[in-house]
Amino acid sequence: MAEATRPIPTNAPRAVAGPLDWVRRNLFPDWRQGLLTIVVSWLLLRAVPPLFDWLILEAAWTGTREDCVAAGGACWAFVGARWGQFIYGFYPPEHRWRVDLTMLALVASIAVLFLPRVAHKGWIITGAFLVLPVVAYVLLHGGLLGLEVVPTDRWGGFMLTLVVAVAGMMGALPLGILLALGRRSKMPAIRIFCVSFIEIFRAVPLITVLFMASVMLPLFLPQGFAMDKLLRALLGVALFNAALMAEVVRGGLQAIPRGQFEAATAAGMGYWKMMVFIILPQALRTVIPGLVNTYVAIIKDTTLVLIIGLFDLLGIVQAGISSSAWLAPSVTTTGYVFAGLGFWLLCFGLSRYSMHLERKLNTGRRR
């Protein structure tokens, strides 16, 4: 009886370490994934070397259009020649330091959020929301502190892309939160207004909103009152994305258990205090992927401002490749590659920060 219940001895698990074991476990765990690894490796070997040759080895880094045609690769000389326009648009060269200072303030505000030992990041974000737009307006537009006025029709390139994207993000999030709360309100007038706003803006394309803001809105303004075209575009982008953001936030609010509302009410909290300190922090943490997805869409939608005569990064690149001095297939391809790389860097950086934030906020849950 004792022999029947004795455990059967087994071999000790084999130690797994080293690069060959990593390759076997991750790339060839079974025959299906091994076959997929071979196919993907073959495709990469077919695509990457020619792409590397075109981008780097055969590229023309300096010179003119003729040099680019003779080289046969990418025409980075075109990007170098138009670098100022691609970054600053038609902003006066003697005042471009103001754009650099604004971008530096934006990067510094974002970089602080990555530092683990910086305290009170919530106040830093709130301060950036309130102070950064004012500082950016004073620096970019001028008219105060002795700065010369630079009209918005001279803004363009990467700078205009950042302005539209950041203004759209900063305007869409608070408006979206208010619309989401209003849609769940028990007051019929507020709920109907918020539902109507969300459904109308969500059902039309952004290009229509921009066209209405640029062409139709001035017709309804009082006589003698003019609104800047860029400001109208920023309003259109913010309102359109606020409707999308509201649905993302509403999803987070619905994910909060009923007990959280009841516990906050039992503790004597009013509606706004409960929302600000209990409900919204949990709801926004839940919908971080959805918020980042909307932010990425805002960055890419900045290219639509071209239809109302504003030249963002893609618009200024298209204007550059249409010039007779640089008319060549390699110049056109290089221009679009450069614009795509600029948008990819923005979206990838935002995605990485989102992943960093999710890992940090989920730490408590893992414990």
> Residue 158: is its pLDDT beyond 60?
yes
Residue 252, CA atoms < 13 Å, CB-side half-sphere: 23
Q: Give the C-alpha distances (Å, rounded to integers) separating 161 from 5, 23, 177, 247, 333.
A: 73, 42, 24, 25, 20
Can you give the pLDDT at residue 47? 92
- Per-residue pLDDT averaged across 14-37, rounded? 82
Least confident residue range of 12-21, 87-96, 339-348:
12-21
Nearest 10 degrees: Cα torsion 256, 262, 267, 272 = 60
**Length in residues, the chain:** 367
Angstrom distance (rounded) from CA 133 to CA 231? 13
> pLDDT tens digit string along 188-240?
999 999 999 999 998 999 989 988 888 888 788 777 777 888 888 999 999 99
> pLDDT tens digit string along 87-97?
999 999 999 99
DSSP 63: S
Q: What residue segments make up the domains of the chain, in order of their start?
A: 87-150
Can you give the pLDDT at residue 7? 63
Can you give the pLDDT at residue 364? 47
> Residue 126: is its pLDDT beyond 80?
no
Q: What is the distance of C-alpha 356 from the center of its chain?
A: 15
3-state secondary structure of 74: coil
